[in-house]
Amino acid sequence: MNTARKLKRIHSIADFRAAARRVLPRMVFDYVDGGAGTESTLAENAAAFERFRLVSAAPADVSKRSLAISLFGGEFPLPLIVAPLGLASSFWVKGELALARGAAQHGIPWVLSNNASVMLDEAMAAGDGPKWFQLYVPPSREATKTWARLANEAGFEALQITVDTLVPSRRLRDIRRGFSMPFAWTPAKLFDVVTHPDWTSRIGPHGIPRPQLMFHVPWGASGAAPDMRTRLSPALDWDLIRWFRDEWKKPLMVKGLADPRQAKIALDAGIDAIVISNHGGRQLDGAVATIEILPEFVAEVGGKLPILIDSGFRTGADVVKALALGATAVQIGRAAAYAVATAGEAGVAHAIGLLRSEIDSTMALCGITRIGDLNPSLIRRRGGER
Ligand SMILES: Cc1cc2nc3c(=O)[nH]c(=O)nc-3n(C[C@H](O)[C@H](O)[C@H](O)COP(=O)(O)O)c2cc1C
């Protein structure tokens, strides 16, 4: 089926998930879709949005509306950011570039993971949208410094340090399917790919995607490390982040905060924005849903620090709830991953377009015309509390 016809049938992120499930080999779909441990955080991320209900302020004149937001001294047309997605080239050929171009069609930032299969110069050339970089901090400071230099020289406008991945998590779907690096074929994996011919005919000629970008920077004395366990620094604390603040002069974000008490430390450390995240339920199993703790973060920083948030956002209503509770913008992870797996750049652009119209209509039905006018009076907790 051609792309335009395929996308005509897709009306929600849930539709994109179903389409991705059909096209991707099970091991790749499970890598995208799965979570850590019992997947209780993954389930909680979805369930939590149901506890926050919207209270429309209608009647109101909503004939003129804007979804624009301000961040880091600039204006963005939508309160959305495409989150870093490692190994995106296993979803689509050069999937990272398709994500970048899809985001650029809407003028929203796209974050390149350093666990990517494309090089920095290719990434920078992909579309003319805002480009941010995400760093998994390696064990060596020398290597960390090199990443900052390379990302800066390449032209990335902002950087996110991910802090919720101090050690790798146990993702049982990946373990059971053998989706790990270095990749080794088994009869079950071969069967998996031959029974998904669309994916295989697209990706096959390019070979199994490897995180080349990760290997690009020497990992310290031992050189390139073979797997995730040795690629991450388990000694990532605020001292290191403060040190990094001096290495990276452009906007710096800490991604993966869950404890509201960390917000003030971030502010004092000169961080430009925080990203409340539980990594989409892929790291600490049993973690609290991000929307649940957002109000505490907002109370801690009192408007002094922009708050980005991700984990579990699938609809415009989810996004509006977070903005009403005080978030500045929302990062989308799997929503973009399912879309790029389904239809590459066009899929990503379509997914963002769907979210844009859902945000717009939710806001309008709430009687609100500007993102800045969303506020906590539009939210009731199930059970009646604010
Ligand atoms: C397939 C996949 C790969 C990811 N890779 C990275 C990564 O390389 N770096 C990172 O900081 N977060 C990574 N994340 C987490 C996302 O950036 C984001 O925090 C998460 O997906 C948000 O939850 P959601 O998927 O429910 O939207 C990944 C998530 C997924 C689904």
Helix (H) or strand (E) holding 161: strand 158-162
Residue 31 clears pLDDT 80, i.e. is over it: yes
Q: Which residue has the tokens 């335009």?
A: 4
CB distance 243 to 236 below 8 Å: no
CB distance 31 to 199 below 8 Å: no
Average pLDDT over residues 161-189: 94
Residue 366 clears pLDDT 60, i.e. is over it: yes
Q: Is 337 in the pocket of ligand 1 (CB under 6 A)?
A: yes
Lowest mean pLDDT among 208-222, 276-290, 319-333, 358-372: 208-222
User: What was the pLDDT predicted at 219?
Assistant: 64
pLDDT in tens, 209-238: 888 898 888 765 455 544 556 678 889 999
Q: What percentage of the chain reaches a pLDDT higher than 90?
A: 88
Q: Is 283 in the pocket of ligand 1 (CB under 6 A)?
A: no
Average pLDDT over residues 169-182: 93
158-162 and 131-135: which strand pairing?
A: parallel
CB distance 152 to 251 below 8 Å: no
Residue 117 clears pLDDT 60, i.e. is over it: yes
CB distance 81 to 329 below 8 Å: yes
Q: CA-CA distances (angstroms) from residue 75 to 66, 71, 129, 332, 345?
A: 12, 6, 12, 19, 23
User: What was the pLDDT predicted at 11?
Assistant: 98
CA of 296 to the centre of ligand 1 (A): 23
CA of 359 to the centre of ligand 1 (A): 22
CA of 333 to the centre of ligand 1 (A): 5
Per the structure block, which two tokens stand in for 137? 């901090």
- Count of other CB atoms within 10 angstroms of residue 47: 12
Residue 93 clears pLDDT 90, i.e. is over it: yes
Per-residue confidence band for 84, with pLDDT thresholds at 50, 70 and 90: very high
Q: CA-CA distances (angstroms) from residue 25 to 92, 172, 323?
A: 12, 17, 35
Q: Is 139 in the pocket of ligand 1 (CB under 6 A)?
A: no
CB-based contacts of 227-232 (< 8 A; 24+ apart in sequence): 227/180, 227/181, 227/182, 228/168, 228/181, 229/167, 229/168, 230/139, 231/115, 231/136, 231/138, 232/136, 232/137, 232/138, 232/139, 232/165, 232/166, 232/167, 232/168
Cβ within 8 Å of residue 267, ≥6 positions away? 301, 304, 305
CA of 64 to the centre of ligand 1 (A): 34
Q: Is the dihedral of CA 296, 365, 80, 337 positive or negative?
A: positive
User: What was the pLDDT predicted at 182?
Assistant: 79
User: What was the pLDDT predicted at 228?
Assistant: 59
Residue 25 clears pLDDT 80, i.e. is over it: yes
Per-residue confidence band for 7, with pLDDT thresholds at 50, 70 and 90: very high
Average pLDDT over residues 276-296: 98
Cβ within 8 Å of residue 261, ≥6 positions away? 300
Q: Is 86 in the pocket of ligand 1 (CB under 6 A)?
A: yes
Domain 3-54+69-357 has CATH 3.20.20.70: yes
CA of 279 to the centre of ligand 1 (A): 5
Query: Across all residues in the chain, what is the average pLDDT?
Result: 95
Residue nearest (by alpha carbon) to ligand 1 atom 28: 85
Per the structure block, which two tokens stand in for 341? 């797996």
CA distance 71 to 274: 12
Angle, alpha carbons 62-68-69 (nearest 5°): 125
State CA 1 to chain mean position distance.
29
User: What was the pLDDT predicted at 350?
Assistant: 98
Q: Which atom of ligand 1 is nearest to the CA of 334?
A: 25
**Helix, strand or coil, per DSSP, at residue 307:** strand
User: What was the pLDDT predicted at 227?
Assistant: 59
* Amino acid of residue 23: V
Catalytic residue numbers, as ranges: 279
Q: What percentage of the chain reaches a pLDDT higher than 70?
A: 96
User: What was the pLDDT predicted at 221?
Assistant: 47
CA of 54 to the centre of ligand 1 (A): 27
Residue nearest (by alpha carbon) to ligand 1 atom 6: 85
Residue 82 clears pLDDT 70, i.e. is over it: yes
CB-based contacts of 94-97 (< 8 A; 24+ apart in sequence): 94/118, 94/122, 95/340, 95/341, 95/344, 96/123, 96/126, 97/122, 97/123, 97/126, 97/345
Average pLDDT over residues 6-25: 98
CA distance 355 to 340: 15
**Helix, strand or coil, per DSSP, at residue 91:** coil
Q: Is 25 in the pocket of ligand 1 (CB under 6 A)?
A: no
Ligand 1 binding pocket mutation candidate from 82, 166, 334 (most atoms within 8 A of CB): 334
Q: Which atom of ligand 1 is nearest to the CA of 116?
A: 8
The reply to whether omega before 182 is within 30° of 0 (cis) is yes
- Count of other CB atoms within 10 angstroms of residue 358: 19
Q: Is 315 in the pocket of ligand 1 (CB under 6 A)?
A: no
Residue 144 clears pLDDT 60, i.e. is over it: yes
User: What was the pLDDT predicted at 209?
Assistant: 87
Angle, alpha carbons 297-48-76 (nearest 5°): 55
Q: Is 89 in the pocket of ligand 1 (CB under 6 A)?
A: no
CA distance 82 to 71: 15
